Amino acid sequence: MSVNITSRQSQVIDWLRFPLAAAVVLLHAGESTTGSYDMDFSGTLRIVLSQGICRIAVPCFFLFSGFLFFTKLRDWDTQVWLDKIRKRGRTLLVPYLLWNILALLVGFGYGWLRSRFNPGIVPATLVETLRDNGWLNIFWASTYGCPVDYPLWFIRDLILFVAASPLVWLLARKCRFWGAAVLFVAFGLTGSRDLEGLFYFVLGACFQLSSVDFLQVFARAKWPAYLLSLAGIVLIACTYRENPLAYRYIKYLFVLCGTISVVNLAAGLLDTGRVHTNAFLSSSSFFVYASHAILILHDFAHYITLHLLPFTSTAGKCLALFVKAGLAVAMCLLLFAGMKKWTPKTLGVLTGNRF
């Protein structure tokens, strides 16, 4: 059997869920902000956030997912594995399918509604919407290699890693951290996002199956990780526009050091006793992650930011980025709270009962 998850590890993971989900929203807000990455400070800030700091979030999710999945599987037990697969079907596969269907239908409905108020817009039919999104490809790679609810590429890849978990177990159990290191090198050489996710998933599995407390390991690397992360932020800002190849390799190392740093920061804050896990925010994290790209961030929050709060100066454009992301997160939380109160069963199905 594997090492039990200590209360401190569990606390750190639970506390980080919401900030990491919010970081994904901020990443997408920075990527979608009108205009290119300008040469002023606002453009540099967007690069630092959306191409740097916020890129730490999803690898952290993969790391925690690999660590949690292999609880009670240090010695292979087919029945325990099957139970986990059934549970992941409820918590990953069902929500994944429903959110993508919902994203397609909401997008279709929004287009139809706009046409009611603007006769110049000819709405697509549902068949045309499905065809334009690649029919069943809405669940795989509808746009830019992502499903139609594009943040859920993470869930798509996680489902594949879970399906391949017997092989992951074999790699992590037999090769231990050397197996993860090989994956990191392969990912660095190829730049494959799939290999990046697999590396962090396997790394989490290695900690679990080797009975190693990742908090203790990360704590030993705390100050080097902090210093390298700060250096990485500066180098990302300097290389993203002018030297994409250098940026690519700097980002790989930055994300690894940043993951260690984020975990250490969370553990340090929790150890002070001044911050605590908020059950509402922690339980809302998956909902925020899955829902923010369905009209909320790119339509409602975007419209409010651009039309009701027009920021035109450099400082204003910096502020607008945070306002847009903050509005999107607030809207998601309000919707989550409303559904939790009035439609808890529907919310339970959409979130895999993560509340």
Q: Is 145 domain-assigned? A: no
Share of the chain above pLDDT 90, in %: 71
Residue 301 has pLDDT above 60, yes or no: yes
User: Which of the four pLDDT bands, split at 50, 70 and 90, describes residue 314?
Assistant: confident
Residue 134 has pLDDT above 90, yes or no: no
Catalogue the long-range contacts made by 233-239 (C-beta closer than 8 Å, 24 or more residues apart).
Answer: 233/48, 233/52, 233/53, 236/47, 236/48, 236/51, 236/52, 237/44, 237/47, 237/48, 237/52
* pLDDT tens figures, 74-93: 889 999 999 999 999 999 99
Residue 4 has pLDDT above 60, yes or no: no
pLDDT of residue 33: 54
Count how many Cα atoms sit within 13 Å of the Cα of residue 147 in the half-sphere of its side chain. Answer: 23
CB 257 within 8 A of CB 294: no
Q: Is 123 domain-assigned? A: no
Token pair for 248? 């690519």
pLDDT of residue 355: 63
Domain coverage including residue 306: 7-117+152-351
CB 257 within 8 A of CB 225: yes
Higher pLDDT, 5 or 319: 319
Mean pLDDT for the stretch of residues 307-330: 87
Q: Is 73 domain-assigned? A: yes
pLDDT of residue 93: 96
Task: Give the whole-angstrom CA distance, residue 344 versus residue 355.
Answer: 9
pLDDT of residue 32: 66
Q: Is 278 domain-assigned? A: yes
User: Which of the four pLDDT bands, split at 50, 70 and 90, describes residue 2?
Assistant: very low
Number of structural domains in the chain: 1
Query: Alpha helices of the chain — where are they, by DSSP H?
Result: 7-32, 41-50, 57-69, 78-88, 94-117, 126-132, 153-163, 165-170, 176-190, 193-209, 214-220, 222-239, 244-272, 279-291, 302-303, 314-342, 344-351
Tell me the residue type at 310.
P
Q: Is 298 domain-assigned? A: yes
Q: Among the listed ranges 16-25, 88-97, 143-152, 173-182, which one has the minimum average pLDDT value?
A: 143-152
* pLDDT tens figures, 326-336: 999 999 999 99
* pLDDT tens figures, 239-298: 998 899 999 999 999 999 999 999 999 999 999 988 999 999 999 999 999 999 999 999
Higher pLDDT, 272 or 307: 272
CB 183 within 8 A of CB 198: yes
pLDDT of residue 192: 86
pLDDT of residue 1: 39
CB 148 within 8 A of CB 142: yes
pLDDT of residue 338: 97
Is 0.85 topped by the overall pTM? yes
Catalogue the long-range contacts made by 316-323 (C-beta closer than 8 Å, 24 or more residues apart).
Answer: 317/33, 317/42, 318/41, 318/42, 318/45, 320/33, 321/26, 321/29, 321/30, 321/33, 321/42, 321/45, 321/46, 321/49, 322/26
Task: Give the whole-angstrom CA distance, residue 332 versus residue 10.
Answer: 25
Enumerate the β-bridge partners of residue 146: 143
Q: What values do phi and psi take at 287, rounded to 5?
A: -65, -45
pLDDT of residue 238: 93
pLDDT of residue 132: 75
* pLDDT tens figures, 340-354: 999 999 999 999 987
Task: Give the whole-angstrom CA distance, residue 332 versus residue 180.
Answer: 35
Task: Give the whole-angstrom CA distance, residue 156 versus residue 306.
Answer: 33
Enumerate the β-bridge partners of residue 143: 146
* pLDDT tens figures, 151-210: 999 999 999 999 999 999 999 999 989 999 999 999 988 888 889 999 999 999 999 999
| Mean pLDDT over each residue of the chain, to the nearest integer | 90
